[in-house]
Amino acid sequence: MSRAVALMRQMRPQQWVKNGFVFTGLLFGHAWHDPALVYRVVTAAIAFSLISSCVYIINDLSDREQDRHHPAKRNRPLASGAVSLGTAAVLAALLGTSAVALSYWVSPGVLFIIVGYWGMNLAYSFGLKHVVILDVFIIAAGFMLRILAGTVGVGIPPSQWLLLCGLMVTLFLGFTKRRAEIISLAQDRKRHRKVLEHYSPVLLDKMIGITAAGVIMSYSLYTMSPDTAHAHGTSHLIYTVPFVMYGIFRYIYLLHHQSGGGDPSRDLARDPHLLAVMAAWLAITLWLIG
């Protein structure tokens, strides 16, 4: 593995797809016709990509010893020795500095959100990831900060129903991630992630069921809200609900039968059903509100 490839892998660019949450306000706020605003949102998404890579490196530095005993994580550049500790630290500093500079250019609000995201994840990496339930809420908070950066951070007022739906989606993804870790690590789960000793399959399945129902209900209520119909000029967004339901149910199926659920970015890329339903939802939504 070349040095450049190792450094790129250390940044985990495949995870940048998560920063698509930054574009939520641009889509549902009808702001895509404003080139200057689009440019600011894209810049905010880039800043989040850089700061998230910085956070991944810090987390890998903290967990490198445990990762060396993990069936998949032992292949990560830091755990395998392809990237040295000093090089990783310098790369994290460069990424963090660049993210702060870009977010400052976008707005003070985005800068505050980026710095808050970094601080929250630093606390997560060095302690809070061991606190049961709170660990998943911190993961969800990271996604919510992305939504806020692309709405409040650039002057787009977010819908309360959409924020609630975003929270439910991110909690759902967090609990499925923990469930996938229990499935893949089996008896060694406590050795690789201490917080897993406080979770059980039954407990996580209940939380997944609750948050899945929350996603469907909050999104359904959003599509039927009079404010939504007024904002988008259509009352037909309700017809996109089946696509959301199918996506949720498919994801649960992948979790239990296809070793999925651990990485939404990977699952989305490798499963044609998820790709198709996501593309269909996006196309129909754009058609209805455009």
pLDDT tens by residue, 99-136:
999 999 999 999 999 999 999 988 988 888 888 999 99
Q: Is the pLDDT confidence value at 190 over 60?
A: no
Tell me what pLDDT residue 59 has: 81
Q: Do residues 188 and 140 both lie within one domain? A: no
Q: Is the pLDDT confidence value at 261 over 70?
A: no
Q: Is residue 85 part of a domain?
A: yes
Q: Do residues 120 and 184 both lie within one domain? A: no
pLDDT: which is higher, 172 or 190 = 172
Task: Tell me how crowded residue 223 is: count the other CB atoms within 10 A of its CB.
Answer: 22
pLDDT tens by residue, 218-251:
999 999 988 888 888 888 999 999 999 999 999 9
CATH assignment of the domain containing 24: 1.10.357.140
Q: Do residues 140 and 16 both lie within one domain? A: yes
Q: Examine the fold and report which residue of 129, 158, 187 is the final residue of a domain before the chain moves on.
A: 158
Confidence of residue 183 (pLDDT cuts 50, 70, 90): confident
Q: Is the pLDDT confidence value at 189 over 60?
A: no
- Residues 95, 53: contact at Cβ < 8 Å? yes
35: Cβ contacts below 8 Å, ≥ 6 apart = none
Give the whole-angstrom CA distance, residue 69 versus residue 79: 9
Q: Burial of 246 by CB count in 10 Å (0-12 exposed, 13-18 middle, 19+ buried)? A: middle
Give the whole-angstrom CA distance, residue 152 versus residue 133: 27
- Domain around 2: 1-158
- pTM of the shown model: 0.83
- Residues 106, 40: contact at Cβ < 8 Å? yes
Residue 270 carries which side chain, given as an amino acid letter? R
Q: Is residue 163 part of a domain?
A: no
Q: Do residues 149 and 7 both lie within one domain? A: yes
Query: Domain count of the chain?
Result: 2
Q: Examine the fold and report which residue of 158, 183, 217 is the final residue of a domain before the chain moves on.
A: 158
Confidence of residue 40 (pLDDT cuts 50, 70, 90): very high
